[in-house]
Structure 1
């Protein structure tokens, strides 16, 4: 029986919220129509979507596209759990009302992901107590969202508190199962991890997947020259599956082995003037579709 994995995309291939100069002139309708034509089943949110549940539904309906999920800029590192619950409630409701059952949580308190600051200057928790305090608040927040039918998927991200494999290990060890993990192949590699090893280690907590590729020679330049995250974006560190150097076939095999039933989301922070949106979105879709079909055939033959 085929797995319930579906392939979606983030609109960042068409326009970038953090760097509005990259595709800022492209209307959301272009992204949705092109994504649908390529074969994607759903989209994540970006800043061009309406901010209310009904508005999101009306935008997606003409294209028969599902709402995959949506990024939430969390500030638990500086807020109490109660404050964050108040802040997140509307976003949770919007997702739930549109059939999305995961929420992309990105910690932006003290983050430098949108700044021209070298990534080595990112924030860090410097004591076990600081980690435990943060994890406790995250457990409480994740319990709230799960109670509303939406599981929190924590996004390890360049320039933030949880970036490196060791950060992911600590966070997963200190939190309960209500806290899901968003596995991002590109951020994993850029953060110093080996994607297959990290996925295997935390597969039981993975509830959402971003398949972003990297160009390894550019990653090395980024590290050697102390680039910021925006520097990484404009200089081509990231790309779509099939265009870079990450081997996605074993990652898909790992997900199928545990009957993962969520989304595979193509996401690549690139300049659409350099990496044309439709061409790269199609390359990502075609690559994952082929790999998924091959993996299913291998499992059927086994």
Structure 2
């Protein structure tokens, strides 16, 4: 077991991209009992041993001081943190204080971006709602409210040295390719960028490349998440919620499902993307051991993506 990330054995992308792994593999913020046995130290030791350079912040992390001490000790970078905005429901002025505090926290940890998802009407965390047939939809009057609010948050993020990257997400008002493209068209490119997530793009529309090709100029953060075809079909047939779908194994790491990651990886590289890609897969760590699946993802990344 490596106790600190060793640059000589860590993942080294031939195109300069930095690779990390999302903390949701170890523990879940929405279903708090899932992975509750894992600690920050468990995750950091796995990341260092597996050779991933970074991760994001999760809600279960300890204080910022303890987190900073431990990430520095293990040589792991903090890249970003999720922020749930309620701009449409509450108005942007009500959102600004908490968002500003999040930006201050992320700068303390050395992050470079803040992940924002509008949660007004979201059903992603509701376990008795079919994620495949039920989602909130913005009215024509609400679209400019969200866009202008995000531009305002983007200004605050920039003041703290961060990029605001918007996360298109199942069960939210910005889920589909059309919704994501529309949001990018309505927001200021200097203030609002995109987090491109392969798993949400595939499950939401069955189309990974369509969204990436349409928004590549706005992409400043990437999650590579795979989908198990049998579990996707099963979850659709049973009308599962988002939470129950991933608990049933709908998502997995790259190379373990049905998405061909050579296409998005090649497209990103060809368009000069050279910052962070995070391996992400919402799974139950009691079933899908994070170290095992992190190793599986690294093997696929190096043997398949780095050779194209």
Q: TM-score range with shorter-chain normalisation? A: over 0.9
Deviation of the 1:6 alpha carbon = 0.4
Per-residue CA distance 1:210-263 (angstroms, 9 max, x = gap): 001001232222223221011111111100001001000111111111111221
1:4 alignment counterpart: 16
TM-score (norm 1): 0.92
2:34 alignment counterpart: 22
Deviation of the 1:20 alpha carbon = 1.8
Q: Contact conserved, 2:261 with 2:305, CA < 8 A, in 1?
A: no
Equivalent position to 1:105, from 116, 123, 127 = 116
Deviation of the 1:292 alpha carbon = 4.1
Equivalent position to 2:159, from 147, 168, 171 = 147
Structure 1 runs (4+) deviating above 3 angstroms are 289-292
Equivalent position to 1:172, from 184, 188, 196 = 184
Whole-angstrom distance in 2 between the partners of 1:43 and 1:37: 14
After superposition, residues 1-302 of structure 1 pair within 5 angstroms as 2-52=14-64, 54-116=65-127, 117-119=129-131, 120-125=133-138, 127-177=139-189, 178-295=191-308
Whole-angstrom distance in 2 between the partners of 1:234 and 1:47: 19
Whole-angstrom distance in 2 between the partners of 1:166 and 1:231: 26
Deviation of the 1:63 alpha carbon = 0.6
Deviation of the 1:168 alpha carbon = 0.7
Whole-angstrom distance in 1 between the partners of 2:99 and 2:115: 11
Whole-angstrom distance in 2 between the partners of 1:169 and 1:24: 37
After superposing the two structures, state which structure 1 stretch, 193-202 or 178-187, moved more. Answer: 193-202
Query: Structure 1: which 5+ runs fail to align?
Result: 296-302
Q: Contact conserved, 1:13 with 1:270, CA < 8 A, in 2?
A: yes
Q: Contact conserved, 1:252 with 1:291, CA < 8 A, in 2?
A: no
Deviation of the 1:22 alpha carbon = 1.7
Deviation of the 1:7 alpha carbon = 0.4
Deviation of the 1:51 alpha carbon = 4.1
Q: Secondary structure at the match of 1:191?
A: helix
Whole-angstrom distance in 2 between the partners of 1:291 and 1:150: 32
Equivalences, count? 293
Taking only aligned residues, the RMSD between alpha carbons, in angstroms, comes to: 1.6
Q: Contact conserved, 1:49 with 1:56, CA < 8 A, in 2?
A: yes
TM-score (norm 2): 0.90
Q: Secondary structure at the match of 2:165?
A: strand
